[in-house]
Amino acid sequence: MPAAQNSFDMLIGVNPLSWMNDDLPSLGGETPLSVALTEGRQIGYQGFELGNKFPRESQALGALLGEYDLALVSGWYSGRLARRSAQEEIDAVGPHLELLARCGAKVMVYGEVADSIQGSPVSLSKRPRFIRDDQWELYARRLDTFAAYTLSQGVRVAYHHHMGAYVEAPDDIDRLMAMTSGDVGLLFDTGHITFGGGDPLAMLDKHIGRVCHVHCKDVRPHVLRLARNGDWTFLQSVINGAFTVPGDGAVDFDAVIGRLAKHGYRGWLVVEAEQDPAVAPSYSYADKGFRTLDRLVASHAAASHAGATPALSSDAPRATGSPALHASQR
């Protein structure tokens, strides 16, 4: 794995969604994986998360990533603990977990897809919910058992709160964290928490001790408003540009990186932004996302060495009022 490039041990990786979308093959589906890996490395990314075009055999995957001097960051796992037992999930995750562990990934992105509407033509307002306390309790027990098992294999669950799923809104995240053990890590996604009605900084303040993975996704507030008011599906929201890369939307990444640094976060910052590459060209947007994070991390690292709060550069986000969004975007 490439060495950390800053004093906070924050590595900057990328998800192949910037080039190709597994859920919407029409968005970049024709792009060869080699293009994504070549461009990602040229830009400066240190690792990639998995996508559907990556090999699923550890030797082949390791050789491919090694060819580009890239690390395996993590990989999405479609979990169904809302509908099956912990043991059934443990049996199902075997090959994926083994792949991650053998290739050096320390976290596994867990996405709950049971009853999820994120890939369906169903409005976001109709997402699944746990209604009763006993439903939450059963789910938490299953997740704890599952997470303890993956951790015993050297890989920690990074639970992905996600639009269109059981755990979407801030209250859902709060409840899940309160009901599960520390074995269950939290994947903190700036875009999904904002779309879900939350404040990224408030969420970090509450749950920084559980955050083991970070997806850096920016948002376009005017599109989020249209999505909510029009009760769009998740995929409609993606196609219409709800998400973008850091530095191109409303999330105050300077504040987010500062908060992570303050609490000593050690792990990956992953640029992940589902967009149409025909509208948002892959290379230029992936480059913008990397340069935004790289600049901010370097700024906070330098300030830490000097014992000062970093001054915002002229092109860095400046937030007033709400800490989550630029003033011009609210």
Per-residue pLDDT of the chain (330 residues), as tens digits, is 444 444 468 999 999 998 998 778 778 788 999 999 999 999 999 999 999 999 999 999 999 999 999 999 999 999 999 999 999 999 999 999 999 999 999 999 999 999 999 999 999 999 999 999 999 999 999 999 999 999 999 999 999 999 999 999 999 999 999 999 999 999 999 999 999 999 999 999 999 999 999 999 999 999 999 999 999 999 999 999 999 999 999 999 999 999 999 999 999 999 999 888 889 999 999 999 999 999 999 999 888 777 655 443 333 332 323 334 443 333
**DSSP-based three-state secondary structure for 256:** helix
> Could you tell me which of 99, 78, 223 has the C-alpha nearest to residue 162?
78
> Could you tell me which of 40, 45, 46 has the C-alpha nearest to residue 282?
40
Owner of token pair 């920690």: 156
Query: Tens of pLDDT along 124-180?
Result: 999 999 999 999 999 999 999 999 999 999 999 999 999 999 999 999 999 999 999
**All domains of the chain in start order, with CATH:** 10-329 (3.20.20.150)
Instruction: Give the residues across from 243 on adjacent strands.
Output: 219
Q: What is the pTM of this model?
A: 0.90
Q: How far is CA 53 from the centre of its chain?
A: 19
In the β-sheet with 267-271, what is the strand arrangement from edge to edge? Answer: 71-72, 47-48, 10-14, 267-271, 211-216, 184-189, 156-160, 107-112, 76-79
Query: Tens of pLDDT along 114-134?
Result: 999 999 999 999 999 999 999
Residues sharing a CB contact under 8 Å with residue 167, sequence separation 6 or more, in sequence order? 112, 159, 161, 173, 176
- What's the rounded Cα separation, in Å, for the pair 151 and 286? 31
Could you count the other beta carbons within 10 Å of the beta carbon of residue 260?
22
The number of helices, as runs of H, and strands, as runs of E, in the chain is 11, 11
Tokens for 57?
């055999």
- Altogether, the residues listed in the chain come to a count of 330
Tokens for 75?
């990989």
